Each structure stands twice: as structure tokens, then as C-alpha cells.
Chain A
Amino acid sequence: MARFGGRLVGAFAVCAVALAASPRPGSAETLHRVIDKMSFGAPVIAAHVGDVIEWSNHDFVAHTVTAKDGSFDVSIPPGKTALITVRHAGAIPFYCRFHPTMTGTIDAAG
């Protein structure tokens, strides 16, 4: 039992080291945003590098979420969801390729 307990502690120690070694341990979040009535919602989304944004398309027409700098581009059929990952810091303007008047900006902190 004592030996088993020792191995368990050892395993936790390995995990702790692994977590400490990864960049921004535990900081990446999944943000949920809704596309509705031909709008991305709030014009600016505050996020961090590494965060994932899950977009839900509540419209019955298809949309895309496309970064002007090309860092992401997903198509979202009506009623579906899609994920994008924030890859770099700074302001990342995005738009819908199907409806270019729909726009927004991700304000990404490093």
C-alpha cells in the first residue's frame, strides 16, 4: 500500500511538472458566441492567444467567420457550430465572406 501510495504521489509530481512546462497552463478558454439576425453580436471580442471561440449560427442562412489576415476561416451552415483558435495577439478583424457587411474584431491579449 505504502509503495502504491508512493507511486501515486510520483505520478502527480510528473503531472505537475508537465503542467508547469506547458505555456500558459490552464489559461486557454472556450468562448461561446452566437451569430444571429445577420450579426456577429458585440463588435469586439476580448480573448487570449490560444483561446477557442465556438460560433453558433442561429440564422437559417450560411455564414463564415473569416480573419482578414487569413489566420482563420470557417464556414458555418445554418444551425451548426464551428470553432476557431486565436493564434496571435493584437486586433484581428474578421468578416463573413458571404455577407461582407457583417464584421467584428477579436482583441487578443498575449
Chain B
Amino acid sequence: MSARSILYTTALGVLVYGAIGTLPASAQSSAKPTDPQIAHIAYTAGTIDIENAQLALKKSKNKDVRAFAEDMVRDHTAVNDKALALVKQLNVTPEDNATSRSLVKSADAERAKLAKLNGAAFNRAYVKNEVAYHKAVDNALQTTLIPDAQNPQLKSLLQTGLQIFQGHEKHAEELATELK
């Protein structure tokens, strides 16, 4: 596992590994994220990827990298719009939490590193980060966010999101191979 992947997995795993690891067994169930927290984590994860893509569109001249970044903006915006419509319909207010804060902190640090790179070095680092980021998000969806979501509509939206993001993960992996 790369350092990047560990960074994101740790960020997304605060509730899973961190809290459960330190709490007594009786308190473990309360460590599970609530639906408003899950909605916030999922929305935050999407926003981070849109911001990464916007950086790529600003910096990269590579046709395939730009097409990938445009795909990320288009799809993550569509998923986040669905999520916003759903929380509105359910009258749920997404709730800021340790996982989403940690995720933003990790992503900001990574984006600052990317911003210093140019040309082929930027393209490779951006795509490598996209592979690691989607792996971590897909893993968090499968192991925590989807199983812990209580509302069936939220669960279903996360499941659809997972299918879309798994496609992104494969696309990023193929692009990473091309850029080597």
C-alpha cells in the first residue's frame, strides 16, 4: 500500500479503526457513523475529487489527463447533486465529523504537493493520487459507509456511487499505466 493510500485510508478510517480501537466494547456501536455523518463524508469525498480535477484542468495539457479530470468533475458533481437532493428530501442536515475533517486535511496536503509539480511529473502524480484516493474511498464505502447507512435511499445512493467510483478507479489505473 502506498503512502498516499495509507493517508486516505487512515483519514476515512478514523471512525472505523481509530474509534473502535480506543473505545470499550460496550461503546463500539456508538462509534459507527450516523446517516448525517455518512452523508457529510460522502459529499466531502466528492468535493475533494472535484477540487483535485479542477487543479488538473488548470495545470495539465495532456489530452487524456484532462478528459479524465473532466469526467471526475461531471460524475462527482452529479453524485453530489443527488446526495444534496436526497438529504433535502429526507430533511437531514449533513454533519461535520472527525472523518470528513481528516479527509479534507489529508487532501489539502496532497493538493499542495501536486500544485508544486508541472508537466509530466504533475500528470503522473495527479493520476497516481487519483488511483490511491478512489481505492481508499471505494474501500470505505464497502466496509463502513454502505453497511452503516440506515436509510435505504442513502444506502442505495452510496451503492450507485460505489459503482461509478470503481469505474473511476479502473480508469485511473489504466491512465497511470499509459503515463509510465
Same complex origin of A and B? yes
Chain A positions near chain B (C-beta within 8 angstroms): 37-38, 59-62, 78, 97-102
Q: Which 4 A-B pairs have the closest CB atoms?
A: A101-B170, A61-B78, A38-B163, A99-B167
Chain B interfacial residues counted at CB < 8 A: 16
Instruction: Report yes or no: B160 in contact with A101, Cβ–Cβ below 8 A.
Output: no
Chain B residues near A98 (CB-CB < 8 A): 71, 74-75
Q: Do B171 and A37 have beta carbons less than 8 Å apart?
A: no
B171: contacting residue among A61, A62, A100, CB under 8 A = A100
Q: How far is the CB of A63 from chain B (nearest CB, A)?
A: 10
Partner of B82, one of A37, A38, A60, A102: A60
In contact, A101 and B67 (Cβ under 8 angstroms): no
When the two chains form their complex, are residues B167 and A60 in contact, meaning their CB atoms are under 8 A apart?
Answer: no
Return the contact of A99 from the options B78, B79, B160, B171 (Cβ within 8 A): B171
Q: Does B96 contact A (CB under 8 A)?
A: no
Tell me the interface secondary structure of chain B in the complex: helix
Chain B residues, CB < 8 A from A62: 74, 78
Cross-chain contact B74 with A61 (CB below 8 angstroms): yes
Chain B residues near A60: list those with CB within 8 A. 78-79, 82, 160
The residues of A that contact B174 with a CB separation of less than 8 Å are: 100-101
Q: What chain A residues lie within 8 Å of B163 (beta carbons)? A: 37-38
Q: Is B164 an interface residue (CB 8 A)?
A: yes
CB distance from B127 to the nearest CB of A (A): 14
Task: Give the contacts of B121-173 with A (CB-CB under 8 A).
Answer: 160, 163-164, 166-168, 170-171
Taking the closest CB of chain B, its distance from the CB of A97, in whole angstroms, is 7
In the complex, what distance in Å separates the CA atom of A98 from the CA atom of B64?
11
B157 → chain A closest CB, angstroms: 9
| Of the residues A37, A97, A100, contact of B160 by C-beta under 8 Å | A37
Are B71 and A99 touching (Cβ within 8 A)?
A: yes
Proximity bits, B106-124, A CB within 8 Å = 1, else 0? 0000000000000000000
